[in-house]
Each structure stands twice: as C-alpha cells, then as structure tokens.
Amino acid sequence: MLLSEPQHVLSYNGELLVFQLSKTKHVEGAADRTVKLCVRRMAFDRDTQLFVQMSSGAFSMRAKHSETEIVCCDCATHSETGIVLPCVLMKVKKQNGVFEQLLLLLHSSDRFEQCCHFKLDYELKEDVRLFAGPSVLWRHADKLFYISSGTCKVLSAPVQLSSVVWTGEIEGEGTVVLGIRAACLPESEDGDEFSTSDRAIWGSEFFGYAIEMQKMLTGTCFMPHAYSRVVSSVCVCKNERLKKQLRISAVAITHKNQLIWFQDGVPKGVCELPYEKPCLIKTAVTSSNDLLFIVSFSSGNICVVRRENLQAGLTSVRELQQHLGLKKRVILESCRALIDLVEGRSHILPSAKKEGLVSLWDDVEKPYSVSKEPSLTPKLQDHFIEKLWQRVVGDNLVVGVKLTESFCLSVCDISLSLVMDHDFSLMSPIIECRNKIIKVNEIFSALSVSSCQIEPPQKKMKLDLRSKNDLKKEFHKRCSKTQLDKTNTVTAVTNLSPLLAFHRVCCAVLLHAKKQKHRNDDFRKSKRITLFCGKILLNLEDISNEKYSVNMLKDNSYCTGSVEDIVAILAVSIRFSFQIVSSDCTLTRVNSWLLGEMDCVPFKECHDMVFSHKAGNIYGTVFSWTLKNPFEGVLTLFCRSLTVLFQCLHSLTRVLPPSCDVKLLKSGSKGLLTEQLALALEKEMFTSRSFLFSKENKAENNLTRWNEPGRKISDPPVASLLDSEDGVQHFREKLQNEREQCVLSMNEMMDGTLYQKMALKVAEAQLRSDMIVWRLSKS
C-alpha cells in the first residue's frame, strides 16, 4: 500500500484524525480500480512530546486513484444517534463528466459508514461545508445547495450569495448559514442616494438563512454589514435567546490579517495576526476552560489566539483614556479628509493597523482621487453662490450663503456646516451650528422663515393614478418655483464665545443639499451633495472694531440696514405669530404701539416690517403687523428669546382693550384657512363638472374663471358644510353622486389628450383642498 496523497487532519475528542488516500501496489496486467481511504488516530504523549498512533482504519472504493479526491472533513451530529462523529466527503470523477460524491461517517471502532451519495454535473469547489445530519452544503454559480443523509436529494435555497463564511446551529433556528451577498436595497434606500447604512455604502451585506425552517435572518445580529467587504471566515462561539432576542458571540478573520471579536453584532476587540492570508478559524477549549481561537493560513501556518477578559481592560483609567484618544484622532482625521474632499485635494489616510483598527477597504481598490471629480472643485463656486458673508449678532456668529436662482431650482433640503481649517488638537474642528433658510420674495416684499410646505400624508394614496408621473412633475415644478422665488439665502448660526478663545480662526463653509438627477424626476428621489462655498476669517481685532456687527440706523424715518443685516437678525430670532381679534373697537392702537412705545422704524427694503430701537432687551426685535379688517389682524414677532417675547406681550396687553382676544397661531389663521378651503372645494366641484360636460375651450374658460385671485365664496351652503369633517365628507359624497349621474347621461366622446389634461387639473384641485384640510387639522 502506497501513501503519497496530501493529509487531511481533524481534531476530535482530544485526538487527531489523519485522513489520507492510498492505492494498492500495481500488479502488471491488472486494472488499477481500487482506492482506499485510510485513517490514523493520533494522541499526544506528554512524556515524549510527540503524537503517537493509537489505531487505524480503512474504506475501500471501486474507482481509479487518479479520479478520487478528499473534498473536506469535519465533525457533525449524527441525526439518528445525536452523537457528534467525524465525517469525510469524497469525490470521484466519472468518464462522462459526472462527479459522484460520497459522504462517510467514522465510528469509534474506526469503521467507516457510507451515509449518502449523489451525483453532480459540475465539480464541488466553492464553500463546501459539512453540518448536522450529516449534510453537505456548497455554493455554485452564486446559489446555495445542500443535501441531507436522510433524503439524499439535492435542494437549493432561494438566495443569491457571493460567499459562505459560517455554517452551524443557532438556538431556536436550527442549522443556519451566514453568507455575504450584494446589498438588497429597498426603494427608500437607493444605492445612488445618500445613505448612512453600511449596506448602501459598501454595496454588500451579511445575511442568515435557516435551512430547516427556510427563512431569512438579519445579518447584523452577527456583525455590521460594513465588515462584509473584508471578512473571510467566521466562527460563532456562543448563541442564546434572552427575552426573545438572539444574542451571538462570534469571532472573524479578515483579508487584512486581523482577528475581530463581536458581541451582539458590535465589535469588541481586534488582534493582529502573525501571517498573511488567513483562511479558516476554529475554536478550542482547554482543560482550564480557556477559549482559544485557532487560525489556519494559506501558507500552512497555524496560530493560536487566547481571548483575554476587552471588560477588565476597559475598567482601567489608562485604557479608557487611550480609547477616548483613539476616538478623537479618528474624528479629527475624518474632518481633515472632509475638508480635502470638498476643496479638491487628495487625502492619504493613515494606516488603520497602527491604531489597532480594522480597515474596511479592499486591497485591490485604489484610493479615491478627488482631483478627478470636477463637480467638487472650488472653481464651480460661481455657478451656485452669489455671495458669502458673515455677521456678529450679540453672542452669535451668523454665516450666510446667497445662492443663485438656477441652483435653488435644482436642489432642496439645504444646510450649512462650518469646519475650522486648523490642526487643533484640543477641540473638534466641526463647529456646532443651527441652520435656517431665509425665504426672500422679490427683495423682501414678503418674509418667511419656514421650509417648503410638504403635501399632507392623506394625499399620497389619492395620487396613485396612471398620470402620477405627470403630477409628480407638476408638483415638483410648483415647489421648485417657490424655491426659485423665495429660497436664496441659507444661514448657519453658532455661539461666538468658544471661537474667541483663538486669536484667529479660519472656517471652511460647506453646503449640503439634495440634488435632482434630472429636472423632471421626483424631488424626493434625490441624492445628497456637499459643496465647498469658501472660507471665512474671524479674529478678535475685527470683532473689537465691530467690523461684522449689524448696523440698524435711522435715516429719514427708515431703518438703513443692509439685506444681510436683516437676514442675520432673522436667523438668530424665533418667530411667533398671534391673531388679535377685537369685538367692540378697532385695532389702530397696535400700529401706534409699534411706532411709539416700541420705537419701531420700517426697513427701507421692506416697509411691512419694522425694527425696534427701544433700549434694553427688546432692541433688535422685528415686527410685522397685518390687518385683515379693522377688528382683526395678525402680529408676527422675530425675537431672540422667550423673555423678550413675554416683555413685548406684556407691553401690548396694556394698550389693547380688555375685550381683545390674543391667540398664538401655529400654521395660519383658522378663519382664513376655512375660507380658502371653501373656495378650493368650490373650484374642485366646477372643475369636475367642466371635466364631464365641457369641450376643450369651454373647460379652459371655466377653469380660468375659478382661478381668478381674490374670489369670494358665492354659494353660502358650501361654506356651511365646512364646520366639521363630516360636512366636508358629505360635500364630497354629494359631488361624487353628481359625477356618477353625469357619466351615465353623457353621450359625447372625449379626446384622449383632453381627458388626460382635465384629469390632471381635477387632481390638482383635489391636492389643494386636501392641503388646506391638513393645515386646518394642524392649527
């Protein structure tokens, strides 16, 4: 008997099992058709410090030696006895290109038992695993297959995967396969959109599949998806269920020659491995109950890692300080990389291994070069920025960016970030700030400090029509037009005091927004962009000389502050609106109170808004007083604090008649919204009638008439139905009945283009009425 084949070694019950193929000595003239699988049991002799053979066994097969191969060997639970036994998977190549697989069990008497055999038209090569049954699992063409000794039938799992990193038993789930696959992203987490999730960023994810129960398990209970790019093998050390929650302790090896310990999906420790290309990890428990990690390498080397207690270390103050210092260095390095990215400079990241971290970048990838991305270079600032300015208002620094109209049309959800462009080691370069979008319509003819109104939730299902794409385009057109007319200045406000500790500070201003891929796309399906706006300089000398202070001076009964000064004041202020109603006298006292006791002067750029020059806390408060009629009006205040607000209200109540009712408005006057709803429902009714009866010219004329601005309610019964939600629903039902009757009696045919156009106008009318109903429910 000749033993010249590679050996396969398996640890079992404190012994080493060595499996090897052998062939009988060739006899001339005889066919070479017998192959033997031999096993030797080896035990460690403490006296000689060597492994000695205890027993041996063999299994004969009718096959050519050149066509037989040991695929793998492992220990698995025998389903009939519940005993863990060594298993060996053999492969025999047939002449017709078919591969026959033999699954063997080794009993304690060194007797082999064939428990399963099956044939495949391809060779087993990728991620072959043995598990309880005994059963065989493998991957082929990115699909998962398995066969059990009980059925001897090849089955496939309904999953696509790129690799299998672990197979084993999970409490309550049975046999589970932990694999890696391309990230399956829902519509709300499109890979082209900005996302903070690991699977969207890295493009791959972990997943678990329970074979017996045929169900998917979340991979994050094992480890974060970010590690799916670097992990090559996993070993689950412990799993249990506590309060219906699966808790897993696992260890993984990476392509970066590191070993990582995970507890409940969170990395708890990392260890550098001594050799390259680790390929397999297993665990062993010593006689003293210590847990060892045994790592095998492609070179044939093996190393053992002992797990220390990554809690005893953290209780040390020194270890905790090192941990916090590491976090700080990572944050600072990330800030430097962010600045280099938006300014168009290349950035070289330091080695993660030097800090004891895990690098999640693949070795085959080249570092991203920002110089090849022209959209982030400062040369494009003129295409979206008209002006970058700064002001000091009290203890606040206000940074403003005036955007071009074309840029405002193509973006939404805008914000600013301030990053100190210095290598400070004592503080984070990211400056905490709050953002506001100041909406200006034709140079302060009207002011607002709120974002674009979104559609109410109840409208989302109603618009699910065949023409929903057209409605999306039209809605986006209207919303973008609103931003074009109003949103062109975005501000960032931060506390000035911490910055005064430095003699000179230079800050990079970054703009974040959601940008459309195409103009006609849904504005909600957009991706995040970050643009470099420029830099601002701040030093103590300029602040002392009031270089950036707001100057609101009186000049011929007007306030001469610049547009930037007004925007800065509004940015640091809080807006409040109050509805004032008087039942027995006019409200002329309010205007007198503003010009007299509050010492207010109107802005030269906006006569409807006044600036208070009254000494004390109230100085700098902005007011807007709008009369709906002599007995009702709305007073809007922009003040810096609640204390100032209460001071203004206390002063106001002293001049108002006792019968006046002052009410804080949340989303507009309820009476005004009710009247708008009546007009909207009336327009919706006549739009539907025009849709059913009129030809194209007549329909357009009717719609134009109902779109006239300033139109009043002409049908009193319509307004009477708006006192309750039941009334609105009754109005809708009545309108629907009229529509159905008209459809039954209509004899004329309608052109398809006209039908689509009219259906769009009906949906628009319904959108407006639903919007007002939603605002009424919030008021």
pLDDT band for position 67 (50/70/90)?
A: confident
544 confidence band (pLDDT: 50, 70, 90): confident
Q: At residue 671, what is the residue type?
A: G
Question: Using only C-alpha atoms, what is the Rg of the chain?
Answer: 38
Could you tell me the pLDDT band of residue 560, with boundaries at 50, 70 and 90? confident
Sheet containing 126-131: order of strands: 126-131, 135-140, 143-148, 155-160
Reply yes or no: is the peptide bond before residue 134 cis, omega within 30 of 0.
yes
Burial readout 228-260 (b: 16 or more C-beta within 10 A, e: otherwise): bbbbbbbbbbebeeeeeebebbbbbbbbbbbbb
Distance between CA atoms of 703 and 126, rounded to whole angstroms?
68
Q: Which residue reads 């309820």 in tokens? A: 670
HSE, CB side, 13 Å, CA atoms: give it for residue 684: 25
Q: Enter the CATH code of domain 573-663.
A: 3.30.160
Query: What backbone torsions phi and psi does residue 2 show, to the nearest 5 degrees?
Result: -110, 130
What fold is seen in the domain 383-444+486-518+525-554? Immunoglobulin-like (2.60.40)
State yes or no: pLDDT of 510 exceeds 60. Answer: yes
* Residues composing the chain: 779
Query: Which residue, among 545, 476, 542, has the nearest Cα to 514 in the 3D structure?
Result: 476
Reduced 3-state DSSP string for 93-157: ECCCCCEEEEEEEECCCCCEEEEEEEEECCCCCEEEEEECECEEEEEECCEEEEEECCCCCCEEE
Residue-wise pLDDT tens digits, 81-95: 889 999 999 999 887
Question: What is the structure's pLDDT at 711?
Answer: 44
Kindly report whether the global pTM for this prediction surpasses the value 0.75: no
**Mean pLDDT for the stretch of residues 333-347:** 76
Is 380 within 8 Å of 374 (Cβ atoms)?
yes
Q: In the structure, what pLDDT confidence band is assigned to residue 178 with cuts at 50, 70 and 90?
A: very high
**Per-residue model confidence (pLDDT) at position 17:** 94
Q: Which residues of 517-535 are buried (b: 16+ CB within 10 A; e: fewer)?
A: eeeeeebeebeeeebbbbe
Asked if the model's pLDDT at residue 263 lies above 80, the reply is yes
Of 64-68, 128-132, 212-216, the least confident: 64-68
In sequence order, which residues have a C-beta less than 8 Å from that of residue 581 and are 6 or more positions away? Answer: 631, 632, 660, 661, 663
- The residues that bridge with 85 in the sheet, in sequence order, are 76
Average pLDDT, stretch 123-145? Answer: 91
Residues 6+ apart with CB under 8 A from 176: 167, 168, 169, 170, 208, 209, 210, 211, 217
Rounded to an integer, the average pLDDT of 220-228 is 89
- Cα–Cα distance for residue pair 765/683, rounded to 1 Å: 7
Q: What is the DSSP string of 582-614?
A: -SSS--HHHHHHHHTTT-EEEBSS-TTEEEE--
Q: Which pLDDT score is estimated for 504?
A: 82
The larger pLDDT score, comparing residue 352 to residue 610, is at: 610
User: What is each CA distance from 418 to 335, 531, 581, in whole angstroms?
Assistant: 11, 12, 44
* Beta strand segments in 408-497, E: 411-420, 430-431, 434-441, 446-448, 487-495
H or E stretch covering 540? helix 540-544
Report the pLDDT value the prediction gives residue 41, as an integer from 0 to 100: 94
Return the closest-CA partner of residue 167 out of 292, 76, 255, 277: 76
Sheet holding 215-218, edge to edge: 163-170, 174-182, 204-210, 215-218
CB 687 within 8 A of CB 762: yes
Distance CA 152, CA 118 (A): 7
**Each residue's pLDDT tens digit, 646-678:** 999 999 999 998 888 898 876 545 666 676 777
Q: φ and ψ at 199, to 5 degrees?
A: -70, -30
Query: Phi-psi category of 142—alpha, beta or left, where left has phi over 0 and alpha has psi -120 to 50?
Result: left
The pLDDT of 705-719, averaged and rounded, is 46
Strand, helix or coil for residue 680: helix
- Dist. CA 700–CA 508, nearest whole Å: 53
Tokens of 244: 């219906």
Q: Which two tokens stand for residue 453?
A: 């109104």
Measure the CA–CA gap between 61 and 379, rounded to whole angstroms.
75
Residues 444 and 759: their CA atoms lie apart, in Å, by: 37
Residue 217 to residue 175: CA distance in whole angstroms? 12
pLDDT of residue 732: 73
Q: Are 237 and 209 in contact (CB under 8 A)?
A: no
Task: In whole angstroms, give the CA distance from residue 497 to residue 318.
Answer: 32
Q: Which of 352, 410, 350, 343 is nearest to 378 (CA)?
A: 343
Q: Hey, what are 692's tokens?
A: 């059913």
- Per-position DSSP letters for 29-58, written without gaps between them: TS---EEEEEEEEEEEETTTTEEEEEEEEE
Instruction: Please give the mean pLDDT across all residues of the chain.
Output: 76
**210, two tokens:** 């329970």
**pLDDT tens readout for residues 451-502:** 333 344 444 334 443 443 443 343 333 333 333 334 478 888 988 888 877 7
Tokens linked to 621: 């408060």
Q: Is the confidence at residue 572, as pLDDT, over 80?
A: yes
The torsion of the CA quartet 673, 678, 684, 685, rounded to 10 degrees, works out to 170
Over pLDDT 90: what percentage of the chain?
A: 21
**pLDDT for residue 724:** 62
pLDDT at 496: 86
CA distances, 156 to each of 133, 138, 143, 212, 669 (Å): 17, 10, 7, 12, 64
Distances (CA, A) of 349 to 198, 256, 367, 494, 726: 20, 16, 9, 30, 63
Instruction: Specify the higher pLDDT residue, 311 or 573.
Output: 573
Q: Residue 63's CB: how many other CB atoms inside 10 A? A: 19
Phi-psi region of 110 (alpha: psi -120 to 50; beta: other; left: phi over 0): left
In the numeric block, the tokens 């403490």 are attached to 46
Cα(578)–Cα(584) distance, rounded to whole angstroms? 19
pLDDT above 70 as % of the chain:
72
Does the pLDDT of residue 718 top 70, yes or no? no
* Highest mean pLDDT, choosing among 41-45, 200-204, 378-382: 41-45
- pLDDT band, residue 423 (cuts 50/70/90): low
- Using alpha carbons, select from 641, 568, 575, 620 the residue that is nearest to residue 399: 568
